[in-house]
Amino acid sequence: MNAPPRHLTDVHPSVPPERLLADLVPPRHFADASFGSYRPDPAHPSQQATVDRLVEVAATLDAEQGGWRRRLGLASRTTPPAIYLDGGFGVGKTHLLTSLAHAVGTRSSSYGTFVEYTNLVGALGFARTVDALASKRLVCIDEFELDDPGDTVLMSRLLRELADRGVALAATSNTLPDSLGEGRFAAEDFLREIQALAARFEVLRVDGDDYRHRAAVTGAQGLEDREVAEVVDGRDGAALDDFDALLSHLSQVHPSRYGALLDGVDLLGLIGVHPVTEQSTALRLVVLVDRLYDRDVPVLLGGSGGTDLFTEEMLAGGYRKKYYRALSRLGSLAEDGRRLVSSPA
């Protein structure tokens, strides 16, 4: 007899610094990503141009692997590559970034989201973080977003020290480097730091449409709560949570632990889903959606589903690109979940 559905609200994960370092690899969703598996849209030539440039960067880093300058500790005398992929959500930027990490090698590269790196500094301290990341040839930063002045200064200093030690950098974002922080804090007060970040990167624009919208509608109606509970019931690796209870629980768990919160979860059912009106709550939900997407966890949405999940003010504000990314990813996961409704347990 199968155990009853678990609840994420019952999980209080503890994540040691060693795991934070070990987890800095491409997520499960992109475990097999490569330049060859990326399908550039002919209608948007910038996609193929970006692939070509990243292939060059990977080849350059590979050629340097056995170079005499690195063996003698002289890599800092040269300027390592620093690539910044800019474009809308759903154009394949993360696919390209993980492809670069795989091409360089997961032992020689570090891959994480912006928040994972800031969390790492909090857990290890700045000096230990620099030492750990400086052992890599490439540091990849997904979802580069500056949400507060402290993060601006922290990431500027971190990237400067890594570059000075010969580490190549690659990042993705929906915002050009010199516009980071715009609409979220008084960016003009930190213009020097932001410009210093921007000056380090070669910007590659990735144009295109959101590929996830080809298969999923992010504003789809929710399922009946009863139906969600019935599908989850009896499935190994499934979790069932009340939406409000989960949102409250997320406020008690550090975002760096949201991944660990999902350990062993292969399906998440949410009942009582409704629009979120408080911004800090919405931003925590965005992080959870990102971790669900990283792990390819299908989601069953009860209540109102994805309809008006975020307010019009949120979708027009400084964090709008985060919210639209979350809607895109949640729509894809919800489409995967709907396929399970008619599938046998």
Q: pLDDT band for position 303 (50/70/90)?
A: very high
CB-CB contact of 174 with 86 (8 Å): yes
202 with 70, same domain: the answer is yes
Judge whether residue 264 has pLDDT over 50: yes
- Quick check: is 15 in a domain? no
129 with 162, same domain: the answer is yes
188 with 305, same domain: the answer is no
189 with 310, same domain: the answer is no
* Backbone phi and psi for residue 152, each to the nearest 5 degrees, phi listed first: -60, -50
Least confident span in 61-70, 92-101, 257-266, 281-290: 61-70
CB-CB contact of 181 with 216 (8 Å): no
* Backbone phi and psi for residue 276, each to the nearest 5 degrees, phi listed first: -100, 130
Least confident span in 13-17, 35-39, 270-274, 315-319: 315-319
CATH of the domain at 67: 3.40.50.300
User: In the prediction, which pLDDT does 180 show?
Assistant: 47
pLDDT tens column, 47-99: 999 999 999 999 999 876 655 345 445 444 468 999 988 887 778 899 999 99
Higher pLDDT, 99 or 202: 99
Dist CA 306 CA 221 (whole Å): 7
pLDDT above 70 covers a percentage of the chain that reads 81
Judge whether residue 178 has pLDDT over 50: no
What sign has the CA pseudo-torsion 201, 205, 206, 209?
positive
Q: pLDDT band for position 182 (50/70/90)?
A: very low
Higher pLDDT, 230 or 196: 230
Q: Which residue type sits at 218?
A: T
Final residue belonging to a domain, choices 142, 175, 209? 209
277 with 236, same domain: the answer is yes
For residue 226, the enclosing domain spans 212-341
- The 3-state secondary structure of 95-150 reads HHHHHHHHHHCCCCEEEEEHHHHHHHHHHHCHHHHHHHHHCCCEEEEECCCCCCHH
38 with 172, same domain: the answer is yes
CB-CB contact of 100 with 57 (8 Å): yes
- Quick check: is 267 in a domain? yes
pLDDT tens column, 121-173: 988 899 999 999 999 999 999 987 766 667 777 888 898 899 999 999 998 87
- Quick check: is 23 in a domain? no
